[in-house]
Amino acid sequence: MQGGQQMFEGPWMFRSVLCLLAAGVALPTEARWPCPPPCYCGAPLPEVNCSGGRLAAVPAAVPKEATLLNLSRNSIKTLPRQQFRALTQLLHLDLSDNLLVLVEAEAFLGMQSLLTLNVSRNQLKIIPVGAFAGLTSLRFLDVSGNQILVFLDFTFSDLAALQFFTAADNDLVFVAHQAFAGLTTLQELHLDGCNLTVVPTEALSQLSVLRGLHFHRLGLTTLPNYSLHHLVHLKDLRISHCPRLEALLGNSLFGLNLTSLTIKYCNLNGVPYIPLHHLVYLEFLDLSFNPITYIHGNLLGDLLRLQEFHLVGASLVRIEIGAFKGLAHLKLLNVSRNLLTTLEAGSFDSVQTLRSLGLDGNPLACDCRLLWILRKRLRLDFGGNPPTCTTSAELQGWDFLDFSEDELPNLLTCRQPRILRGRLQDVRVDQGHTVLFYCSSEGDPRPSVRWLNPRLKYVPSVGRIRTLSNGSLEVRYAQPHDSGTYVCVASNAAGNDSLPVSLYVRAFSLSSKNNFLPQGWSAFPSDSPSLNGNQKLQFDVKTLLIAATIGFLSFFSSVTVCFVFMFFWSKSKGQIKHTATIAYVPRSTMSKSNGATGNYMETSRFTMKLI
């Protein structure tokens, strides 16, 4: 050790003396200190710019007073130990865009003032433990654009003052559990474009004061439970361009107290309501560019401090009423470039707080549901792109700033629903039948139809009694206790209309036949006989016997025909056979020509005496 250092020191001293002399001669007026060629030394600021100087090694005689040394865009391949030992006052060292393949341990030893170190865009495959020894003041470290595969245990343990660390564009496949040990002041970490497929939970748990964590272009497929739960000071989590990330597990954000969350350009197909719900301090949420189709009602209410919600370029078809209920501070909603036909005031807790609204790039139906936006349009910031009417013929292409105040009431209108009252729908059926009640309605926008059961509960769209997508009510295998009055309710933004129907289900009794339904009752019984109780009963022993006999007889007659045929055929040939073995496949697939061969595995046989 000692010897190597000595050997290294000798030529270094020698070279620096030479350089000092050379520089002193070459640039006597430009700097108060000698400047190593081909560098430029700035005056009066002690900055040394060796960028683009085709250097293959760190120049020897860098003045001790230098605070910035720019070695970017050179051809430096290795950094031996204690390379910069004399530069105790250096604050910024830029080694980006070199050909570094090796940084020896203690390469930076002695640079106790260094604040920023940039070794981006080199060819490092590994950082040896101790490479950053002595950098006790370092605040910013950039190792992006290398080919680093692993971060070893304790690699960064000397960087007790590090605040910002980026490791973008490496080939990282593994981060050792203790890799980040010692980074007790790290505030922001960027892991970007790595081949990591799992969250390095153990390693991250060392970063006790981390405030910002960015994961970009990682191969994550899911964010597992408790992935980040030690990061109690994390405020800003950004995950983007993770096309394989389809889900956040229920407890994946457990332990976090975020104010800002971004998950964009991933593959989430729904708003992660459950993982988010404890983030009561969240102010900023960006889920843009995920294939999310719905924002459901009443599921985001826990995010009571949310101010901005971005969901641009997703596949949103609907924002339900009450979607933002409870979000009393929502100032900005950006749902540009989706598939929304409307956005109702009822989706918000209150539209009073809203300042910015991105709604352009949606196939909007301009009717009374959007009137609230028109009324507020001069006080809303549309981000330069006001919404446009796309679906209604007469307003096609109009944007919301084209309308004048007095036009408003007559332009965006709705028509209240009206249920078409056709035939009287009072139905009496026997137990076990299936009944269908129709409910067709008209209105603008097209009303949504729901049914209330006799207990005034909404009938769901699944189950024995259900609401079909076309608005009909279906009661399958009707039971006596299904009897009562059902109400069809058609509603849209303009109001509602309702229609009661009644169902009477007669309890099944043995003597009943199918003939009691009086004329004029409009029932819609199921056609499927297997579901029909009456027909099942008729399937008695007698029927079975008859059916069996018919089957047996037909089998026997074909066998007989077969024998008669064989008899005459063999007689005409002159050779009389007196017995024959008949093989047959039970499922009456008996074949006459194969009859005597008995080839089939599953055949039965019997022998018969011929006349």
Ligand X SMILES: *[C@@H]1O[C@H](CO)[C@@H](O)[C@H](O)[C@H]1NC(C)=O
**Count of other CB atoms within 10 angstroms of residue 275:** 21
The token pair that represents 466 in the structure block: 């259900």
CB of 367 to ligand X, least distance (A): 18
Given the rule CB under 6 A, which residues bind ligand X? 40, 49, 51-52, 70, 72-73, 92, 94, 96, 118, 120-121, 140, 142, 149, 171, 173, 195, 225, 249-251, 257, 259, 281, 312, 334, 336, 356-358, 381-384, 436, 438, 440, 468, 470, 472, 489, 491, 495-496
Q: Between 70 and 425, name the residue whose CB sits nearer to ligand X.
A: 70
Alpha-carbon separation of residue 13 from 20, 477, 510 (angstroms): 10, 99, 115
CB of 547 to ligand X, least distance (A): 33
CB of 318 to ligand X, least distance (A): 18
**What residue type is assigned to position 52 of the chain?**
G
CB of 384 to ligand X, least distance (A): 6
Place of tokens 């430029």: 40
**Count of other CB atoms within 10 angstroms of residue 56:** 11
Query: Which among 478, 474, 390 is positioned nearest to 431, based on CA atoms?
Result: 478
User: Residue 491 belongs to what H/E stretch?
Assistant: strand 484-492
Cβ partners under 8 Å of residue 549, min gap 6 = none
Query: Which among 199, 207, 158 is positioned nearest to 180, based on CA atoms?
Result: 207
3-state secondary structure 376-392: HHHHCECCCCCCEECCC
CB of 383 to ligand X, least distance (A): 3
Instruction: Say if residues 592 and 562 touch (Cβ distance below 8 Å).
Output: yes
Q: Between 243 and 250, name the residue whose CB sits nearer to ligand X.
A: 250
CA within 13 Å, CB half, 104 = 11
**DSSP-derived 3-state class of residue 69:** strand
DSSP secondary structure of 355-418: -EEE--SS-B--SGGGHHHHHHGGGSB-TT---BB-SSTTTTT-BTTS--GGGHHHHS--EEEE
CB of 49 to ligand X, least distance (A): 4
Q: Between 51 and 137, name the residue whose CB sits nearer to ligand X.
A: 51
**Count of other CB atoms within 10 angstroms of residue 299:** 19
Q: Between 49 and 342, name the residue whose CB sits nearer to ligand X.
A: 49
Q: Between 251 and 522, name the residue whose CB sits nearer to ligand X.
A: 251
Q: Between 346 and 392, name the residue whose CB sits nearer to ligand X.
A: 346
CB of 447 to ligand X, least distance (A): 11
473-475 and 465-467: which strand pairing? antiparallel
CB of 222 to ligand X, least distance (A): 9
CB of 220 to ligand X, least distance (A): 14
Cα gap 219→234, rounded to integer Å: 22
Q: Between 122 and 595, name the residue whose CB sits nearer to ligand X.
A: 122
Q: Between 181 and 452, name the residue whose CB sits nearer to ligand X.
A: 452
Alpha-carbon separation of residue 361 from 59, 314, 385 (angstroms): 57, 11, 9
Q: Between 322 and 595, name the residue whose CB sits nearer to ligand X.
A: 322
CB of 412 to ligand X, least distance (A): 20
**DSSP-derived 3-state class of residue 561:** helix
The CA-CA-CA angle for residues 74, 75, 78, to 5°, reads 120
Q: Between 265 and 504, name the residue whose CB sits nearer to ligand X.
A: 265
Q: Between 277 and 296, name the residue whose CB sits nearer to ligand X.
A: 277
Cβ partners under 8 Å of residue 303, min gap 6 = 276, 277, 279, 280, 282, 285, 326, 327
CB of 298 to ligand X, least distance (A): 17
Q: Between 6 and 470, name the residue whose CB sits nearer to ligand X.
A: 470
CB of 50 to ligand X, least distance (A): 8
**DSSP-derived 3-state class of residue 488:** strand
User: Residue 442 belongs to what H/E stretch?
Assistant: strand 441-444
**DSSP-derived 3-state class of residue 569:** helix
Instruction: Say if residues 68 and 52 touch (Cβ distance below 8 Å).
Output: no
Q: Between 358 and 595, name the residue whose CB sits nearer to ligand X.
A: 358
Q: Between 332 and 582, name the residue whose CB sits nearer to ligand X.
A: 332
Cα gap 529→542, rounded to integer Å: 19
Q: Between 86 and 117, name the residue whose CB sits nearer to ligand X.
A: 117
CB of 480 to ligand X, least distance (A): 24
CB of 92 to ligand X, least distance (A): 5
CB of 394 to ligand X, least distance (A): 27
Alpha-carbon separation of residue 224 from 218, 228, 326 (angstroms): 14, 9, 28
Cβ partners under 8 Å of residue 56, min gap 6 = 74, 75, 76, 77
